[in-house]
Amino acid sequence: MEQATWGVGKVAKRCGIKVSTLHFYEEKGLIRSWRNTGNQRRYKRDVLRRISVIKAAQKMGISLAEIKKAFASLPDNRTPTIEDWQLLSSRWRDDINARIAYLERLRDSLSSCIGCGCLSMDKCPIYNEEDKLASEGPGPVILDRK
H or E stretch at 35: strand 34-35
Digits of tens for pLDDT over the chain (146 positions)?
567 689 999 999 999 999 999 999 999 999 999 999 899 999 998 899 889 989 988 988 889 999 998 888 887 777 778 888 788 778 888 888 888 998 888 888 777 777 777 777 776 666 677 788 888 888 888 878 76
Question: Contact at 8 Å (CB) between 93 and 66?
Answer: no
Q: What is the CATH number of domain 8-99?
A: 1.10.1660.10
Angstrom distance (rounded) from CA 32 to CA 11? 12
pLDDT attached to residue 126: 65
What are the residue boundaries of the structural domains of the chain, listed by start?
A: 8-99, 110-146
Angstrom distance (rounded) from CA 30 to CA 49? 12
